[in-house]
Homo-oligomer: A and B are copies of this chain.
Amino acid sequence: MARENLWMRPERPARGPQPNYSRAALTEAAVRVADAEGLEAISMRRLATEIGAGTMSLYRYVSGKDDVIELMVDAVVAQYLPEGTVLSGDWKADLGALARRARLTMLRHPWLAPLAASRQGASPNRLRLLEASLRMVDGLGLGVDEMLTLIGGVFAYVNGFVQSELAEAEALRRTGLDLREWTALQKPYLMSIIASGDHPMVTKMATEGGRAYGDVEERFEYGLERLLDGIEARLPER
């Protein structure tokens, strides 16, 4: 159980035969499969056949499935901050843009949101991201701890929002139903709630709420901007 740190192990040691595969290939395959079929389609056997290796060979590159997940997250999180991104110096604009790219990345890789939300061990691209985020809010008169609190708050919102945004799609994938069947299943229950009369506000929502209530984009922006506004209002004056 004495697992070594994934990011410390050199890709290529000295003595033995040269490897046929690579972490990069493994990561690429994992991301591809998860994108197409969801995170639960990822298995060591599946990944092995995907790259043409024997199952147990993967363990030469990675100390277990958890490392594969770690590699996937680190690989994809890089997209939050494309190479060559320059900072405008306007912290709200910079952090907002980062948040929006984070969201779009998670929408492209729907398996990412829950993982990103609940893992925060150090990894190359996560550290790159942290470095850039800290630079965005540097010079506002905040201490390092306060900067971390600020950034943490924004990412908390983004992660939480995207997860709930993806919740319905997730439910469809989990159950294997399509949207029509799904709503057909939920409707009678909601109807019974309405009929009971115990939930007037929910009833109002179900009857007069706009279909797919407002643009999702718009809702994301609303929360993000309110949060940034609220932060700005309490920044130390300079």
Chain A positions near chain B (C-beta within 8 angstroms): 1, 3-5, 7-8, 66, 113-114, 117-122, 127-128, 130-131, 134-135, 138, 144-146, 148-149, 152-153, 155-161, 163-164, 166-168, 170-171, 174-177, 185-186, 188-190, 192-193, 198-202, 204-205, 208-210, 213-214, 218-219, 222-223, 225-231, 233-234
Distance (whole angstroms) from the CB of A38 to the closest CB of chain B: 13
* Identical copies in the complex: 2
Bound-state Cα–Cα, A158 to B185, Å? 29
Secondary structure class of chain A's binding surface, majority of residues: helix
Is A167 a contact of B120 with CB atoms below 8 Å? yes
A160: contacting residue among B155, B176, B177, CB under 8 A = B155
Contacts of A149 in B (CB 8 A): 213-214, 218-219, 222-223
Contacts of A177 in B (CB 8 A): 1, 3
Contacts of A202 in B (CB 8 A): 127, 130-131, 134
Is A164 a contact of B168 with CB atoms below 8 Å? no
> Quick one: closest B residue to A175, CB to CB?
B3
Bound-state Cα–Cα, A87 to B119, Å? 36
A157: contacting residue among B8, B130, B157, B186, CB under 8 A = B157
Bound-state Cα–Cα, A166 to B119, Å? 9
Bound-state Cα–Cα, A166 to B114, Å? 13
> Quick one: closest B residue to A131, CB to CB?
B199
Is B145 a contact of A210 with CB atoms below 8 Å? yes
Is B230 a contact of A8 with CB atoms below 8 Å? no
> Quick one: closest B residue to A204, CB to CB?
B144
A161: contacting residue among B3, B4, B156, CB under 8 A = B156
